[in-house]
Structure formats: C-alpha cells, structure tokens
Amino acid sequence: MDNKEQLISLLSAFICHASSHLPDDVLKRLGEMREIEKEGFAATIYEAMFENMKLADELKRPSCQDTGVLQFFVKAGTKFPYLDDLADVLREATIKATKEAPLRHNAVEVFEEKNTGNNVGHRIPWIDWEIVPGSSDVEIYLYMAGGGCSLPGFSKVLMPLEGYEGIIKAVFDQMTSYGVNACPPCLVGIGIAGSAEVAAKLSKKALLRPVGSHNPNPRAKMMEEEIENGLNKIGLGPGGLGGKLSVMGVNIEQAARHPATLAVGMNTACWAHRRAGIKISSDLSYDLFTHKGVTL
C-alpha cells in the first residue's frame, strides 16, 4: 500500500468509528445529565439512548441512521508531506466509508435533485482549511451534519443597537421552535461577528470545541453559562418531551465586527454529536484525541 492508500484507509476507519461512537466529552456529559433526568419520558429516552450506544458499539453500526453530510475541518501544517493529496484522500475516504460503515447516502445534487449515492458531490464532503505555518502534522475534525440538527441553524445580521439582547432573543426563539426537532439535548454553537457567513462558520467551529470547555474571553464565558442555564430552565428534556435540562452546553466563538453590524450565527449538534478529531504526523502515526484509547 502506498502512503496515499494508507491515508485513505486510515481516514475511512476514522469515519466508520465516528459514525458509531460518540466522543469522550459528549459521553461524559450525557452520563451526568442522565443522573439528573430520572423522571417521566426523560428517563425512558435516556435509557433508550444509552442502550442504542451499547448496541451500536457491539454491532459496529452507525448509531443514528442519519450519518449526515460529511464535513471536514482541517488544520493543515504547511510541512505535512501529503498536503497535495489531502482533499482527494478525504473524498476517497468518504466513498470507502460509505460502503464499509455503511453510511446513508446523503449527498443530493442541487438542481439535478439526484442523490449521488456515495456521499460525494459538488463541493461535498465540505472541507474547511486552516493553515498552520511550519507544522508537519495535520489535524482533521470530522463533523457528521445530520438533517434534524442542521435545521435550527441560522445566521442573521443585527443592528448594533439591538445589542447582545438581540442575540439572546434570536437564539432562544430558535431553540424553543426548532430545538425539539434536533434530538435534544443539543450542544449549541453560536458565532458572533460582523457578517452573516463569518458568524455562521464560527457557530459551526464552536461545535468542534469540547462540551464543557469555555471561551477564554470572560464576557463570552459568562454569556455561554448564562445561555446554558437559561435554556436549561426551559426544560426541553430529551426529544423535547420535557425534563429538567435542555442542552449539553453552549459554545461561543467570535470575530471582530464592523462598527455598524452585529451578526449572529447559530448551529446545533444533536445528542448524537458525532464529532471526531485525529492528528496525523508526517510518518502517518496518529492520535484519535476525541476518543481516547482507540486504535483504528
């Protein structure tokens, strides 16, 4: 096997593993939430969620049938020797994993309105690139963007006088109207910036941060905690069937804004938050850092 094929196999195994196993931070939080949600439908649903994760592991099957549109967020070291091949490798790994996991066929070409049948299509899998100068490693985050959990996503540009209150209102309205369809408890990602697409992109990047982590800016951290507590007071419960809690957490990412605009973007990750991160070195050794102790 040449190095390119080896990379394709490694990344295909990475995708397969992510489709049936949640990352460590999400598992830990769901376990904590289950201890609090002991009554009514909430208890029944948590029981089903944990049973489902056990079965997915035992039977090596995707834990949710909606394995999403595959999105990769790459931090590419400029000295990583296989950088030229990487986009191609990610597409090939997607096709391979679609057969092996197997994943659901989720790429529908716009205008033709045809499902491509292999999860690869125009600009899909989506690849987001960040350059890391001087590094010889590559860090790849996989996010499986399901339909239900992508549905509450939005971004819009507020006028600064609407203030941060405007952001709060928009987020809460979206969560009480669409949140129930996104298989709560969700992780809520919020981006704040000067234009719609920057805010939207940051809201997705916020979802890549571990559950329970906080933005280093003290005001942002305070806002994360306030929104999390506030949403929990509403008590969406698992599946929107009511309970003591609503969300796994709230992560905010920001970029400096224009003086005349205050844009907000929001994305939700469902409880089956299939995010996985792998760091690959130039000798192709790897560390699956979101799922500790796993060998692919």
Partner 1 sequence: MSTYELTMPVSDSDIKKLKIGDVIFLNGTIVTGRDDCHHRVVKQGKEFPVDIKGKAIFHAGPIMKKNDDGTYTVVSVGPTTSMRMESCEAEFLKETGVKIIIGKGGMGPKTTKGCVDSCAVHTIFPGGCAVIAAKEVEKVSGVEWLDLGMPEAAWIMEAKKFGPLIVSIDSYGNNLIDENKKTFNERKAPVVSDISAKLDFLE
Chosen residue from 4, 27, 34, 41 binding partner 1 by CB under 8 A: 41
β-bridge partners, 109: 114
β-bridge partners, 253: 191
Residue 169 contact among partner 1, ligand SF4, none, beta carbon within 5 to 8 Å by kind: partner 1
Shortest spacing between CB 56 and partner 1, in angstroms: 5
Local structure of residue 142 (DSSP, 8 states)? E
Rounded CA separation 32/59 (Å): 25
Residue with tokens 């125009």: 122
Rounded CA separation 16/133 (Å): 30
Which residue type occupies 244?
A: K
Number of residues near ligand SF4 (by CB under 6 A): 10
Which residues, 149 to 188, sit near ligand SF4 by CB under 6 A? 149, 182-183
Q: 49 and 238 in contact (C-beta within 8 Å)?
A: yes
Under the criterion CB under 8 A, does residue 108 sit at the interface with partner 1?
yes
The number of angstroms, rounded, from the C-alpha of 178 to the middle of its chain's C-alpha atoms is: 17
For partner 1, which stretch binds (CB under 8 A), given 1-9, 68-76, 205-213, 226-234?
Answer: 226-234
Under the criterion CB under 6 A, does residue 142 sit at the interface with ligand SF4?
no
Under the criterion CB under 6 A, does residue 238 sit at the interface with ligand SF4?
no
Under the criterion CB under 8 A, does residue 163 sit at the interface with partner 1?
yes
Rounded CA separation 220/57 (Å): 36
Under the criterion CB under 6 A, does residue 270 sit at the interface with ligand SF4?
yes
Under the criterion CB under 8 A, does residue 226 sit at the interface with partner 1?
yes
The residues of the shown chain that bind ligand SF4, judged by CB under 6 A, are: 64, 66, 146-149, 182-183, 270, 272
